Chain A
Amino acid sequence: MDPITIAKTARTPRVDFDFAKNQFVIAGESYPEDVSAFYGPLLQGISNFLDDLSNAEVSFRFELIYFNSSTAKIVMELFEALEEAAVSGNQVVITWVHEAGDDNIKELGEEFAEELNEAKFILEEIAI
């Protein structure tokens, strides 16, 4: 699949999906005016990609600073898709990045991770 690269805007995050390397990044703030229009193709693309994947290593980094409730729903969808890929035998690592002192983002990541059983979850703190 062709990579998907989207530069960040005031309301949407930077997206870097490298399907060739199985590496995916979403970084920045996320409160799109139309969450379906922004995330629909991304979710569709990664779901199709994961469906066809076997015995692979997958890395997904979430570097979100701020996101709205609709984005939270999308993130949960992504976690679920990644967990399913892990259940299917892939080595899936989800890295949740939060700024030092941002307990809100840190706790959200921890809560989302409660639904994971097979995918590996890593919390990563970065300096502001």
Chain B
Amino acid sequence: MSFDVFQREEAVIAQGRALLAAIADPATAAQYEELLKAYEKLSRTTRRLIKLSDRNEEQLNQLARTLNEKNATLETLSDKLSKYLSPQIYRSIFLGQHDDSLITRRKKLTVLFSDIKDFTETTEDLEPEDLAYHINTYLTEMSRIALAHGATIDKFIGDAIMMFFGDPESRGVKEDAAACLAMAIEMQHSARELRARMAASGFERPFQMRIGINTGYCNVGNFGSADRMDYTIIGSAVNLAARLQTHCDPDGILVSYETYVLVREMVDFEERKPVDLKGIRRKIKTFAVRSLNEPGPNAAHRLHCDQEGLKLSVDLAKMVGSARAEALHSLEGIVSRLRDLPEPASGGNAEPAVANSAMASAN
């Protein structure tokens, strides 16, 4: 006899039927039969409920398995998709913070363009497989550095990279520019190492990178159509960064005045002759990073102070002879005036007490 989950109940019912047959009094038998039928009905109801519950649980389990499979598929897909997007944009999309309408806004960003000098000529003798290997190695390394510094990688255009700082996350305009320059310097350091490796592997004309940086207002947001869009930036500030890069020395970094004033304390710059750039009417003041020494050893000879009411920049390497004496004299004059400066009586601004001549000397 096969096993029945309700065999105990069935046994009780069989026992009840046997008892019913033995009851002689018709009235008592009728009452007993009514109770027995109620028990049988209860047993059937329980059986049906358990069957229904099992079926529902089975469907729920199936649904959970399907959901798990779909989640795994989505995870794989989103992992692949993430490689096509800047991490910041990817994160904001997956946190539900990203607006997919064609809306843009103006923001002050620091934009960087880099490319490889004479890329086509440099690589024309390379087999496609070797070219793909070298360019991917180069772009992978540059991307790693960019992400470590918090850059938003806008796009790769062949051998060129377009990146910016200040959106979707910003640490402040000055801090964004500083982060961009620090990143550019590390990129050039790394490019130098890559070049050595390429040369050692037999590549006759290793890559030389040029970098242009500009800070300015850009339109940032979704550009394109409602069906296919890019989260990117446009504006003259972007064009200027791209043009600067074309004027940059190989292995160099060229920045605009707007970026220079934000980062001039970081490294030595050499002012270049203002240049005419295609598409930009005014002459552009440009500054080339003279020594790629940040965070190199030479950074130690610079002192900076930037706080409310006080901006100071000292190049200790230049503090020799009369320059040092004059600087000390100017600073002592400033310190003396500051010491004697009376506190304002009721929170108003004190009278400007620092002589223009002293400030001029300090600068």
Taking beta carbons and an 8 Å cutoff, which residues of A are in contact with B? 31, 35-37, 39-41, 43-44, 68-70, 72-74, 77, 80
Closest 10 CB pairs of A and B: A40-B3, A69-B53, A69-B50, A36-B3, A68-B57, A68-B54, A73-B5, A70-B54, A69-B54, A70-B50
**Which chain A residue has the least Cβ–Cβ distance from B53?**
A69
Pick the residue among B5, B57, B58, B61 that contacts A74 (CB under 8 A): B5
Contacts of A40 in B (CB 8 A): 2-3
**Which chain A residue has the least Cβ–Cβ distance from B52?**
A69
- B8 in contact (CB, < 8 A): yes
Number of A-B contacts (CB under 8 A): 38
A70 near B3 (CB under 8 angstroms)? no
- B306 in contact (CB, < 8 A): no
B5 near A70 (CB under 8 angstroms)? yes
Pick the residue among B4, B8, B53 that contacts A36 (CB under 8 A): B4
Query: What are 7 of the A-B contact pairs (CB < 8 Å)?
Result: A36-B4, A39-B5, A68-B54, A69-B49, A69-B57, A77-B5, A77-B8
**Which chain B residue has the least Cβ–Cβ distance from A73?**
B5
The smallest beta-carbon distance between B58 and chain A, in angstroms, is: 7
The smallest beta-carbon distance between B63 and chain A, in angstroms, is: 14
- A69 and B4 CA atoms in complex are apart in Å by 14
**Which chain A residue has the least Cβ–Cβ distance from B4?**
A36
Contacts of A70 in B (CB 8 A): 5, 50, 54
A31 near B3 (CB under 8 angstroms)? no
A31 near B8 (CB under 8 angstroms)? no
Taking beta carbons and an 8 Å cutoff, which residues of B are in contact with A? 2-6, 8, 49-50, 53-54, 57-58, 61
Pick the residue among B2, B6, B50, B61 that contacts A31 (CB under 8 A): B61
The smallest beta-carbon distance between B111 and chain A, in angstroms, is: 50
The smallest beta-carbon distance between B26 and chain A, in angstroms, is: 35
**Which chain B residue has the least Cβ–Cβ distance from A71?**
B54
- A77 and B42 CA atoms in complex are apart in Å by 17
Contacts of B58 in A (CB 8 A): 31, 68
- A14 and B61 CA atoms in complex are apart in Å by 20
The smallest beta-carbon distance between B43 and chain A, in angstroms, is: 12
- A16 and B284 CA atoms in complex are apart in Å by 84
The smallest beta-carbon distance between A123 and chain B, in angstroms, is: 24
Contacts of B49 in A (CB 8 A): 69
- A22 and B50 CA atoms in complex are apart in Å by 31
Interface centre among B6, B8, B54 (most CB of A within 10 A): B54
- A36 and B10 CA atoms in complex are apart in Å by 15
A43 near B3 (CB under 8 angstroms)? yes
A41 near B3 (CB under 8 angstroms)? yes
The smallest beta-carbon distance between B15 and chain A, in angstroms, is: 16
Contacts of B54 in A (CB 8 A): 31, 35, 68-70
A80 near B8 (CB under 8 angstroms)? yes
B57 near A31 (CB under 8 angstroms)? yes
**Which chain A residue has the least Cβ–Cβ distance from B61?**
A31
- A93 and B54 CA atoms in complex are apart in Å by 29
**Which chain B residue has the least Cβ–Cβ distance from A38?**
B3
- A44 and B2 CA atoms in complex are apart in Å by 11
B50 near A73 (CB under 8 angstroms)? yes
Contacts of B53 in A (CB 8 A): 68-69
Known A-B contacts A31-B58, A68-B57, A70-B50; A44 and B3 likewise in contact (beta carbons under 8 Å): yes
- A35 and B47 CA atoms in complex are apart in Å by 13
A39 near B50 (CB under 8 angstroms)? no
The smallest beta-carbon distance between B66 and chain A, in angstroms, is: 15
- A73 and B3 CA atoms in complex are apart in Å by 13
Contacts of B8 in A (CB 8 A): 77, 80
Contacts of B5 in A (CB 8 A): 35-36, 39, 70, 73-74, 77
The smallest beta-carbon distance between B47 and chain A, in angstroms, is: 9
- A67 and B57 CA atoms in complex are apart in Å by 10
- A96 and B5 CA atoms in complex are apart in Å by 22
Knowing that A35-B54, A39-B3, A44-B3 touch, tell me 14 more A-B residue pairs with CB under 8 angstroms.
A31-B54, A31-B57, A31-B61, A36-B2, A36-B3, A37-B3, A40-B2, A40-B3, A43-B3, A68-B57, A69-B54, A70-B5, A70-B54, A80-B8
